[in-house]
A and B are shown apart, each in its own frame.
Chain A
Amino acid sequence: MTFPILSVIVFTPFVAGMLILLMPGERKTEIRMTALAAAAFALLLSIWVYFSYDVAAAGYQFQEQYSWLPALGIGYHVGVDGLSTPLVLLTGVVMFTGVLISWNIDDRPREFFAFLFILATGVFGVFVALDLFQLFFFYEIAVFPMYLLISIWGWVKTREYAAMKLTLYLFIGSVVALVGGLAMYWAAGAQSFDMLVLEQAGFSEAFQRTWFLPVFIGFAVLGGIFPFHNWSPDGHVAAPTAVSMFHAGVLMKLGAFAALRVGIMLLPEGAKHWAWLIMLLALVNVVYGAFIAMVQTDFKYVIGFSSVSHMGLVMMGFATLTKQGLTGSGVQMFSHGVMTALFFAAVGMVYNQAHTREIPKLGGFAKVMPFTAIGFIIGGLVSMGMPGFSGFVAEFPIFMGVWQVKPWIAILAAISIIITASYIMLVVRRVFFGDMPEEFVGHTHDVTVLDKVALTLLSVLMIGIGIFPALMVPMVQSGVENVLRLLGGA
C-alpha cells in the first residue's frame, strides 16, 4: 500500500486542531508552535504532491478509495488532477502564511487555531474529493468555523452581521446544490456517489438543464457570483487577517472549484445550455466589482470588491467552456488566491499599526514597513495582469477564450483591467507613499520577521509562476483536457 498522502494532508490540520483544543488555554506559545508545525507539515506535503504529480500521465493521481457507506454507495475517494493540485498547494501556502500572520492573536488563540485548522481540513477535503457525498461533507465543514472565526476575532463593528450573513448565504447555496446532488444520485441509478461514476451516467438533457443552475449557482455563491456576491466583501472586511486570507484566498476557490467539478463536469449539457447566463453574470462581477472597488474609501473593502471582480474572471473562464478559458481560470484560481492572501496580509499589517483603514487618513507606510509595501505592489501588479507576474499568465488566456466565444464581452470585461490598475495605483500611492500623517509618526514600526517570511513566500510564488508559467500551465491544461473530454463527449 502506498503512503496515503492526500488523506494525511486532509487530516493533519484536523488532528492538530484537536490536539490544540486539548492543550491548556494559557500555554499560548506552545499552541502557536504546534499550529506552525502542523501548517508547515501540511505545506511540505502539498509541495511534494505538487512536484510529484505526473503531468504527462495526467488524470486523477494519488487516489485512495475506501467504502464509507456501501448501502448507499457512499465512498471515501480522494485524488487530485491538474486542476486541484495547484489548489491543494494554494491551501497549504495560505494556511502556513495565515498561521505566521496570526502569531500575535492573544484572545483565546487555542480556539482560534483549532477552528482555523478545522476549516483547513474542510478545504483540503473538498479539493481532493472524488465522491460527491464526501465533497458536500467537507464543504459544510469548511463553512461553519468561518462563523465563529469572524464573529469572535473579527472587526467589532460589523462582525456579527457579516458572519451571520456569510454563513447563511453559503449554507443556502450549499444545501440547494445538495438537493441537486441527490437528484443526480437517483437519476444516475448507479447506487454510487462516486463522481467518476456519475460522470459516465449520461443524464438526460432535460435533467441536466433543470439541475445545472441550482448546482452551479449553489456552489458559485461561495465563489462570489453576482448577484450573490454580497456576503463576500462584508465577510472579508469583518474577518481577522488570517481568516480574510483564507477566505478570499482559498474559500472562494472552493466555491468555484466545486461549481466546476460538480456543475460543469457532471452536467456538461446543462453547462452548454446555460453558459451564456454564467458568462453574463460573470461579466457583471468583473466590471461592477471593479467599479465598486474604485469608490471604496476603506482599504479592506477595496480588496474585498477586487476579489469579487477577479473571481468573476474565473467564472467567465469557466463559461467559455474552451481550453484557453478553462486553463486561464485554473491558473487564476491559484494566482488570485496567493495575491488576495498577500493583499489581506498587507492590509492587516497596516491596520494593526494605524488602527484605521480609511484610505484618506493613511499615508507614507512604505517608509516604516518597506517589506509590506513591496509585497503589496507586487500583488497589485499581479492584480493588473502585468506580464511577468502570475496574473498575466492567468488573465490572458481567459480573455483569449472569451474572445473566441463572444468578442464584445471580452472588450467589456477588459475595461476592468483599466479600472483595477487605477484603484490599485491609487491605494498604493495614498497608503504607502506620500507623507505620513502626524499621528502615526513614531507610533509605527516595521513588521515582524514572521510577517516578512509570509510576504516573501507569497510574492515569490506570484513572480515564479509569472516568469516560469511552465511550472503550472501544463498541469492545469492536463486537468482541462479532462473537462473538455466530458464536454465534448456528452
Chain B
Amino acid sequence: MTVTYTSSMIMAILPEILLLALGLLVLAVDLALKEEKRRSLGWLTAGGLLAIMAASLMFARPGDPEMVFGGMVRYDWLGFFFKMLFLFAAAITALFMMDHKNLGHRGEAYLLLLASTLGMSLMASAADLVMLYIAIETTSIPLYILAGFMTGDDHSTESGFKYLLFGALTSTVMLYGFSLLYGFTGTTGIYELGAMFSAGQVSLGLAVGLIFLIIVGLGFKVSIVPFHFWAPDVYEGAPTPVAGFLSTASKAAGFAVLMRLFLIAFPDVAASWSLLLAVLSTLTMTLGNLVAMVQKNIKRLLAYSSIAHAGYAMIGLAAVSQLGVASVVFYLAAYILTNLAAFGVVVAVGRETGSDEITAYSGLSRRAPGLALAMMVAFLSLAGMPPFGGFVAKVFVFTAAVKADMVWLAIVGVLNSIIGVYYYLTVLKYVYLYRMENEDEDQHPIPLSRPYTIALVVLSIGILLIGTIFAPWFGFSGAAAVNLF
C-alpha cells in the first residue's frame, strides 16, 4: 500500500514533531551544560513549549475535521484546543520545576515532562483504539517515573510505585475492553465503531458492557470515584510540580479521550452512559468534597478537590449536548489555570517551609502578600467565586445540566460547591488570619524566584481573564465541541 503524504499530515502532528525536537534539544543541551547551570534548562523547556504553541497557532490551525495517517489521527479543533492547553500546562510546570531541589538540575526531568506532553497531545487527537492506547501509555510512563523521581525520598518512591501499579492495572482492564471491541466488530477505528453501532451491526448491549471496562482506564486518568484511590497518595508523595501537572494536564487528557470515545463510538447508547456518568459524577463530587474537608495536608486537600472537580466537569459530559461538551472544555481550561496556580503556590511555600501541612500556611499573607494573593485567586476560583474562571465554568456546566433536564444533577453540583467553599475558605483562613507560632512573620519572608513570579502572575491574570472576558474562550470550546456532533 502506498501512502501519499499530504501537508495536513504534518500539520496534524506539528506540535508532536516539535515536542520531539525540543526533547532532543533539551537532552543535548543537558549534556553540554555543567551541573550548576542546568537549571536554565527550565527556561529552555518553557520557552520552547511557548514557541511550539505559537508555531502551532500560526501554522497548524485545523480547518474542517480530517482523518490522517490512515485513520489513526483526527485533525480537528477538539484535539488542537487540548494540545494548546497541554503545552501551556507543561510550560508552566517547567517553570515550577526550575527551583525544585530534586528536579531543577536534572535534564531528564524536563525530557520526561516533554515526553508525557507528547503522549497527551496524541491522546487528544487519536482516532483509533491502538493509537489511543499507545498515546495513553506514552503519557503515563514518564509520569510514573516523574512521580517517583526523588529516589532518596520514601514517599516519592511509594508514590511512583503506587501510580504505576494502579495505572498498569486499570489500563489492562481498558485494553481488555478494547480487545473485545475489536473482536466483536473487527475494527479499531473510533469513528468506524460509531458507524457500526449506528447501523445496528453490533448489539448495543455489548456496547454498554464494554463501556464499563473502558471507563476503568479512563476513570483512573481523570480520577473519578471509584478509581480515585491513587490520587491523594500519589499527589502527596510526588514532587509538587509533578503533582500539579498530574492533576491538570493529565486529567484534561483523560477527558479529551472520554469525550471523543463516548460521543463518537457510543452515541447510540448515550442514554445509558449519560446516566452512568451522572451517577459517577455525583459520587465523585460528593466524596471528593467531603473527604477534602478533613485534610490536614495541602497536597492531599488539593488531590481530593481535584477529584471533586473531575466530578463537576463530568456533569457537562453527562448532559450529552454540544453545550455540555463546550462547557466541559471550558471547565477544563479554567481548571488547568486555577489548579496550576494553586500547586504553584504550594511549590513556592513548600520550598521555603519544607512542609505541606496546612498549618505551615499560617501568616502567609504577612510573609509574602503577593503569594497570598495568588493563592486567594486560585482558591476562590476553585471555589467557584466570580470574577474568576471557576465561577463561569461552573455556571456553564450547570446550565448544560439544567438544559438536559438534569436539574437534580445541577442541584447536587451546587450543594457540593458549598462544601467546597467551606474548605477552600478554611485554608485561606490560615493564610490571612492566623499567625506563625512564636515567630515574627517579618523575619521570615518567603522569597520568590523569577520563574515562580512569572508563572503565578501569568496564571492569576489568566484566571481573571477567563472569568471576565469569557466569550473568546467559550468560542474556542464551542468550536471544539462542534467536532463531536
Contact = CB atoms under 8 A, between A and B. Distances in A.
Contacts of A186: 399, 402-403
Given A137-B391, A182-B410, 7 more contacts: A69-B470, A138-B386, A144-B380, A147-B428, A178-B398, A179-B407, A186-B399
B399 A185 contact: yes
A21 B373 CA distance: 10
Contact of B402 (A147, A172, A179): A179
A241 B403 CA distance: 44
A387 interface: no
20 contacts: A25-B369, A67-B471, A68-B470, A69-B474, A70-B471, A108-B365, A111-B365, A111-B369, A137-B386, A137-B391, A140-B386, A151-B433, A152-B433, A167-B425, A168-B422, A172-B418, A175-B417, A182-B399, A182-B402, A185-B402
Contacts, number: 89
A399 interface: no
B101 interface: no
Interface in B264-289: none
Contact of A164 (B365, B425, B475, B478): B425
Contacts of A111: 365, 369, 432
Given A140-B385, A144-B380, A160-B429, A176 B414 contact: yes
Contact of A179 (B387, B411, B418, B433): B411
B407 A183 contact: yes
A183 B402 contact: yes
A457 interface: no
Interface residues of A, number: 36
Tell me if A's interface is mostly helix, strand, loop or mixed.
helix
Interface in B376-402: 380, 383, 385-387, 391, 395-396, 398-399, 402
A111 B376 CA distance: 12
Given A137-B387, A168-B421, A179 B395 contact: no
Interface string B191-233: 0000000000000000000000000000000000000000000
Contacts of A176: 411, 414
Contacts of A137: 386-387, 391
A349 to B, nearest CB: 25
B328 to A, nearest CB: 15
Interface in A164-190: 164, 167-168, 171-172, 175-176, 178-179, 182-183, 185-186
A6 B313 CA distance: 36
A1 interface: no
Interface string B426-452: 101100110000000000000000000
Most A-side CB within 10 Å, residue of B415, B425, B475, B478: B425
Nearest to B477: A71
A191 to B, nearest CB: 11
Contacts of A143: 385
A179 B432 contact: no
Contacts of B470: 68-69
A160 B433 contact: yes
Interface in A379-438: none
B407 A151 contact: no
Most A-side CB within 10 Å, residue of B386, B396, B428: B386
A136 interface: yes
Most B-side CB within 10 Å, residue of A69, A138, A141, A186: A69
A133 B399 CA distance: 11
A311 interface: no
Interface string B9-52: 00000000000000000000000000000000000000000000
A148 interface: yes
